[in-house]
Amino acid sequence: MRWIHISLEVIGGLTVVAGLGWPVLWLVFYPFRNFSGGNCDDSEQQVIASPDGRHKIKSFHRVCGAGEARPYSFFDVYISTGNPNKDYEYAPIVMLRDIAPHQASINWESSTQLSVYFPDTAGVDDAYARTFGVNIVLHPVITNKAK
């Protein structure tokens, strides 16, 4: 009988510790619930093949953040790598921030030159000058700024 009594006390003690531990863990981890992009949405804008058909370009508009405002807005451009392995078919070449949907566009000028047009109010997070034999040219378009 003593053995059953001790077992029940141990189980009760573990239950109390577990019951009190979950709220503490929730309070610690709740602020980080969407830390790694859990609240971002992508919308594909363009898929364009190069004039010689060797490369494809994909562009996406990504909106991130919580609530209705969703304050983080990006435009990303990817180029085909020729790698058939899943998740390695495309590589990023241009990343712009603070840009609304359809404010940026991409265009093949030739088989070896790609132009990216965007408002000068957008920030350039990352851009490559030459990738996979393709020159990437940025064309910030001057916007009317309030005086």
How many domains does the structure of the chain reveal?
Answer: 2
Question: Considering the domain boundaries, does residue 125 fall inside one?
Answer: yes
Question: Considering the domain boundaries, does residue 7 fall inside one?
Answer: yes
pLDDT of 147 reads 47
pLDDT of 141 reads 83
Give burial (CB, 10 Å; 0-12/13-18/19+) of 79: buried
Question: Considering the domain boundaries, does residue 131 fall inside one?
Answer: yes
Q: What is the 3-state secondary structure (H, E, C) of 30-65?
A: HHHCCCCCCCEEEEEEEEEECCCCCCEEEEEEEEEC
Residue with tokens 């009594």: 5
pLDDT of 68 reads 66
Question: Considering the domain boundaries, does residue 147 fall inside one?
Answer: no
Residues 10 and 53 in one domain: no
pTM to 2 decimals?
A: 0.66
Amino acid at residue number 126? D
Low-confidence ranges of the chain (pLDDT < 70): 32-38, 66-70, 144-147
